[in-house]
Amino acid sequence: MQLAKSIMLKSSAVGLKALVSVLFLSPLMGSAQSNSPYSRYGLGDLFPNSNMTTRGMGGISAGYADVISVNFSNPASYSSFYALKEKTSSKLQYGRVILDAGLNLENRTISAPNTPQSFTSSDAYFSYLSVGLPLRRNWGLSFGLRPLSRVSYKINRNERLLDPVTNLPIDSALTVFSGSGGTFLPSIGTGVGFGNFSIGVNAGYLFGTKELNTRRALANDSVHYKASEHSTNYSFGSLFYDAGVQYLVKFKGNRYLRLGASGNWKQTIKGSQDVTRQTFTLGNAGETIQIDSVYKQNDIKGQVIYPSSYTAGFVYNSYETDGRGYLLGVDYTTSKWSEYRFFGQPDQVQDNWKLKAGGQFNPKASTNYFSRITYRLGFSVGQDYIKVDNKLPTFGTSAGLALPIRTSRLAPNQYNAINISLEYLKRGNKDNALKENVFRFSVGFNFTDLWFVKRKYE
């Protein structure tokens, strides 16, 4: 049983040191997908909690709201799903429906301090899909689906086992550590405005899986050993809620400051786990064929304690009637991962924080296409929620563009754009066993049109 515990990497020190030795003593498997040993802990690698519009600005979200994208990070922003249209001397108000979707392409490099060795993997994955609908003035509705985290690693280790008494080599062993899974959140939310103040709430169903597997095979010239497999498969899911508020401060001219705060409280997610300990062999097609079941138990009930998380920030916006304008914003996020429990057990996680800042610029509009592009820039610094041996610092920079798409004369009220962002993310430094550098290219699509406009035919 002690061997099983060491194989499953229960200890933080033993766990990551084993992964580091695996990483640089043998090649990694699964190069067609993301391969991050840090995803072994907590709920895995966390995905960005922002849409493509703000991701190019460092991921700011607390005080952001507009009529052409869905800021699902703060549901209070849903109250802004409307647009003003000038007609003679009066203003007619129409709602604007929004379809907002995104995809990510990612390149990840893992390395250890003071060594030239590294490993690189690439991956493409779905980012989010959101729909925004205006119900009436200052009242909006949104629904969509997005992934929250991912578990993804597969690593081989070749080693020579030593006799504990003589310290002489006895057998060769091949151990394969692998993990997969992730969490997802389909949700629906609404935001309502009362003057300059707005409030919103999202309700969804958070669900996910986490599959941890360790296989070991021993090689001996005179003794034949059966390969062993230790696997634990978790599944969980429950209702999940988050909320937000925003307050608009107007200044002279077309200038305003929007203050915002959002977050979720600690919540309990129901789940179950299946545990298997067995010996096996591989079939002709590479499938696992069980030889003997040492231990097996299914549907063991448990729960996941999802921690509380809060974000506060502001956005300052200034624009002119000729299209010129700029936006600046800052966010501060903190999460209480010390509250996290996974089926009754704490993990190698800690309370973390992140500071984000960014902005965008619009030049004076003209017939030149480049004058209609929105240019964005941002950065972030913080501390990761994973803690193995030492704290894990994070740093990121981002840049983005909003590329408007020409629309048909038959649909003059449409506004469509392609949002592009390029991010560089760094996790870890020389004090950590592993460092990760991630380049992420993200592309989002915004399709919007006025909602329930009465047509006139002449």
Cβ atoms within 10 Å, residue 289:
9
What number is the average pLDDT over the span 28-55?
80
Rounded to an integer, what is the distance from CA 212 to the centroid of its chain?
20
Length of the chain: 458
pLDDT at 271 over 60: yes
Number of domains the chain is built from: 1
pLDDT of residue 20: 43
Percent of the chain residues topping a pLDDT of 70: 83
Cβ atoms within 10 Å, residue 109:
13
The residue with greater pLDDT, 446 or 331, is 331
Classified as helix, coil or strand, 365 is coil
Q: 313-325, pLDDT tens digit by residue?
A: 999 999 887 778 9
pLDDT of residue 33: 62
Give the Cα separation of 440 and 417 in Å (integer). Answer: 20
The residue with greater pLDDT, 390 or 361, is 361
Q: In 3D, which of 105, 132, 202 has the Cα closest to residue 447?
A: 132
3-class SS letters over 289-300: EEEEEEEEEEEE
pLDDT of residue 238: 97
pLDDT of residue 458: 46
pLDDT-derived band at 28 (thresholds 50, 70, 90) equals very low
What number is the average pLDDT over the span 185-201?
96
Q: Are 381 and 353 in contact (CB under 8 A)?
A: no
pLDDT of residue 455: 54
Could you tell me if residue 320 is inside a domain?
yes
Classified as helix, coil or strand, 372 is helix
pLDDT at 83 over 70: no
pLDDT of residue 343: 94
pLDDT of residue 409: 62
Could you tell me if residue 243 is inside a domain?
yes
Could you tell me if residue 195 is inside a domain?
yes
pLDDT at 88 over 50: no
Cβ atoms within 10 Å, residue 449:
18
pLDDT of residue 330: 98
pLDDT at 26 over 70: no
pLDDT-derived band at 32 (thresholds 50, 70, 90) equals very low
pLDDT-derived band at 21 (thresholds 50, 70, 90) equals very low
Q: For all residues of the chain together, what is the average pLDDT?
A: 84
pLDDT of residue 23: 40
pLDDT at 34 over 60: yes
CATH number at residue 99: 2.40.160.60
pLDDT-derived band at 448 (thresholds 50, 70, 90) equals confident
Could you tell me if residue 457 is inside a domain?
no
Percent of the chain residues topping a pLDDT of 90: 55
- Buried/exposed code over 326-354 (b: 16+ C-beta within 10 A; e: otherwise): ebbbbbbbbbbbebbbbbeeebbbbebeb
DSSP letters for 65-101: --SSS--TT-GGGGGG-EEEEEETTEEEEEEEEEEEE
Could you tell me if residue 439 is inside a domain?
yes
Q: Are 319 and 328 in contact (CB under 8 A)?
A: no
Give the Cα separation of 67 and 142 in Å (integer). Answer: 12
Q: 324-368, pLDDT tens digit by residue?
A: 899 999 999 999 999 999 999 999 999 999 999 999 999 988 888
Give the Cα separation of 95 and 254 in Å (integer). Answer: 21
What number is the average pLDDT over the span 444-450?
86
Q: 89-146, pLDDT tens digit by residue?
A: 334 456 778 999 999 999 999 888 777 778 888 888 899 999 999 988 889 999 999 9
Q: Are 174 and 156 in contact (CB under 8 A)?
A: yes
The residue with greater pLDDT, 420 or 456, is 420
Q: 207-252, pLDDT tens digit by residue?
A: 999 999 988 877 766 666 777 888 899 999 999 999 999 999 999 8
What number is the average pLDDT over the span 418-446?
92
pLDDT of residue 385: 96
Could you tell me if residue 456 is inside a domain?
no
Q: What is the extent of the structural domain holding 441?
A: 2-451
Could you tell me if residue 458 is inside a domain?
no
